[in-house]
Amino acid sequence: MNFIISYVKKYKFRAILAPLFKMLEAIFELLVPLVMAAIINKGIGNSDTHYILEMSGVLLFLAVVGLVFSITAQYFSAYVAVHSAAEIRRDLFEKILGLSQGTKDRIGEEVLTTRITNDINQIQNAINMVLRLFLRSPFIVAGATIMAFIVDVKSTLTFLIVVGLLSLIVYFIMKYTLPRYKAIAAKLEKVLHATSENLAGARVLRAFCQTDEEKAGFQEKTATLANMQIATGKISALLNPVTYVVVNIGIVGLIYVAMGRVDSGVLKQGDVVALVNYMGQILIELIKLANLIVLLMKAFPSADRVQEIMEMKSDERCQEKYGDGELIIGGSKPLGSLSLKHVSFSYNGSADMDLEDINLEIPAGSTLGIIGGTGSGKSTLLKLLNHTYEATSGVVELNGQDVRKIDDSTLAWDFGIVPQKAVLLSGTIRSNLTMKETEASDDEIISALNISQSLEFVSTKEGQIDATVVAKGANFSGGQRQRLTIARALVGRPKILILDDSASALDLGTEAKLKKALTQLSWKPTIIIVSQRASSVKGLDQILVLDDGKCVGLGTHEQLIESCETYQEIYYCQYPREEASGE
């Protein structure tokens, strides 16, 4: 609750005005039955047309003023709710971006998506309705009861019985349904997880003929969710009819009691109408209050879930602060140098190490190839270099400085990364290439396109570097997307260029041209190439051979072909011994 209040406080003036205007509206609403009673008792009873018209004008005035107050209150409450939710969503989005990859992997993308969409929407609706109804509904119930006492004390005893019964009904229905709303939210997350997983792996499921099994599993999850929602909904649906029955029975009882009072002259017909109106107001407001409580019980778990993410520590990564609190940027070695000292790593703290005791020195401006079988830890090693993940043990140094002491923004500028999966965002070629270096000139962009072997096909596109890129780069082939991601990494001239199997969709001729262009870059970055092709790493200054997370070879191609059995297996699988010996 304090989490939500901290955001609402930023708009406390409007947050105060919203319920204030609702209270003013409620006051005018409570006066309406008294005016109606006066019209019936004096105007109609005495056939006084002038009085009827005069009091009808009062009714119209009360309606107009009440409407103005209501609209004003709803404007302020909506303003506070929308802007508070927008700030929560913005802060949550920034928090998610700041979480380590390991933390996001552990939480799950579908959970984070639910937090930033559905949960914040629940919070927004709750803020809006609380400002509008939390004070108004109890005030109307209490006010209508007091006004009824003013009209006639004896008849109002019926009100107390009805209000007591309604309160018990609301209590028992809420007691049954509220815990189930929390369970429904948990079941919904499981359905979202299954949906996300099936959409991401649709091709795999079709390839292995698993669509029927997954469909059955999904139907089971949705059926469980639906049954729980239906069961809860049936109980919740009792609220309105049961309360209406109780109130209408109360109205019958009220009329029965008031009838004798009218016959004895204590009450007039208009007073009975006023009492019935007050009974109706109590009914409506109690139903509103019950619905508000349901909304709050949905919002509280949502707020807790959002707060949990906001307060979460990114435990896989940490940046240590020293001295005056500023993060250290410089180092003792040339810019672009990397070293790993006894580095080991395991995902989620598992006892089985995915990388074990890696020692490596990468001089500035040199080239390194990393090769190994599938699952050997190649991509994992890259994620340790730029501090995407934190090493379980050992030290990763950039420019002679522990990466934990270097600010993320500095790391981002030092590294140009081409991920294993080529990802382009909707926009233009220019907007994709200038994501890091937003002020890059046309000449810089064209140079990057030329080096990445992309200029030839980009020049044929309408608009060229301003050509449209649809979502996920679907209007480009796999090889074109890979070359554009390489160009994106080159813009800004990073000190360290990492290519994670980024030429897998390229033919050997294009790959050879790309490799030659990269080795001739004018600013001489440190280049790290991960590949399963021996041709991609052959000729680099060093080649690191990984097998099951361990370093089984380090050296040049010539050295490894003589001494490393794993490298020999990889190389001779791709190049027969006769062909290799004839090179």
pLDDT at residue 348, rounded to an integer: 67
What separation in angstroms does the CA of 454 have from each of 422, 424, 459, 460, 508? 14, 14, 9, 11, 15
Please indicate, yes or no, if residue 315 is contained in any of the structural domains.
no
pLDDT at residue 469, rounded to an integer: 83
Residues 306 and 342 in one domain: no
Residues 387 and 447 in one domain: yes
Pairing mode of beta strands 468-469, 542-547? unpaired
Please indicate, yes or no, if residue 323 is contained in any of the structural domains.
no
pLDDT at residue 329, rounded to an integer: 45
Domain end, chosen from 310, 329, 352, is at 310
Q: How far apart are CA 434 and CA 443, in angstroms?
A: 12
CB burial readout 102-122, b (16+ within 10 A) else e = bbbeebeebbbebbbebbbeb
Please indicate, yes or no, if residue 421 is contained in any of the structural domains.
yes
Assign residue 138 the CATH number of its domain.
1.20.1560.10
Residues 115 and 167 in one domain: yes
What separation in angstroms does the CA of 401 have from each of 316, 336, 571, 583? 19, 11, 35, 42
pLDDT at residue 274, rounded to an integer: 83
Q: How far apart are CA 573 and CA 575, in angstroms?
A: 6
**Which of 560, 519, 510 lies closest to 540 in space, CA to CA?**
519
Q: How far apart are CA 396 and CA 385, in angstroms?
A: 7
Which helix (H) or strand (E) segment holds residue 396: the answer is strand 393-398
Q: Hey, which residues does 218 pair with through a beta bridge? A: none
Q: List, in sequence order, every beta strand (DSSP E) within 129-201.
A: none
Residues 527 and 391 in one domain: yes
Residues 306 and 388 in one domain: no
Residues 466 and 569 in one domain: yes
Q: Provide the angle, in degrees to the nearest 10, between the axes of the packed helices 442-451 and 508-519.
A: 130
Pairing mode of beta strands 468-469, 355-362? unpaired
Please indicate, yes or no, if residue 532 is contained in any of the structural domains.
yes
Domain end, chosen from 294, 310, 326, is at 310
pLDDT at residue 152, rounded to an integer: 77
Residues 306 and 346 in one domain: no
Residues 258 and 354 in one domain: no
Please indicate, yes or no, if residue 325 is contained in any of the structural domains.
no
* Domain of residue 548, residue span: 338-581
Residues 255 and 133 in one domain: yes
Please indicate, yes or no, if residue 456 is contained in any of the structural domains.
yes
Q: Are 557 and 538 in contact (CB under 8 A)?
A: yes
pLDDT at residue 429, rounded to an integer: 81
pLDDT at residue 328, rounded to an integer: 42
Tally of domains within the chain: 2
pLDDT at residue 350, rounded to an integer: 67
Assign residue 411 the CATH number of its domain.
3.40.50.300
Q: Are 541 and 505 in contact (CB under 8 A)?
A: no
CB burial readout 308-337, b (16+ within 10 A) else e = ebeeeebebbebeeeeeeebbeebebebbb
Please indicate, yes or no, if residue 234 is contained in any of the structural domains.
yes
What separation in angstroms does the CA of 443 have from each of 13, 16, 283? 53, 56, 72
Residues 167 and 102 in one domain: yes
φ/ψ of 135, rounded to 5, equals: -95, -35
Q: Are 229 and 184 in contact (CB under 8 A)?
A: yes
Q: How far apart are CA 255 and CA 272, in angstroms?
A: 7
Per-residue pLDDT of the chain (583 residues; tens, 9 = 90+): 677 888 888 888 888 888 888 888 888 888 888 888 888 878 787 777 888 888 888 889 888 988 898 899 889 999 998 998 898 888 888 888 777 766 777 777 777 887 888 888 888 888 888 888 888 888 888 888 888 888 777 777 777 788 788 778 877 877 777 777 777 777 777 787 777 777 767 777 777 777 777 788 888 888 888 888 888 888 877 777 887 788 788 888 888 877 777 777 777 878 888 888 887 887 778 778 777 877 777 787 788 788 888 887 755 455 544 333 333 444 455 677 888 888 888 876 666 777 888 888 888 888 888 888 777 788 888 888 878 777 888 888 888 788 877 777 777 778 888 887 878 888 888 888 888 777 788 888 888 888 888 888 888 888 888 888 888 778 888 788 888 888 888 888 888 888 887 777 677 778 778 878 888 888 888 888 888 777 778 888 888 888 888 888 888 888 888 888 888 888 887 766 544 454 5
Residues 97 and 26 in one domain: yes
Residues 437 and 543 in one domain: yes
Please indicate, yes or no, if residue 332 is contained in any of the structural domains.
no
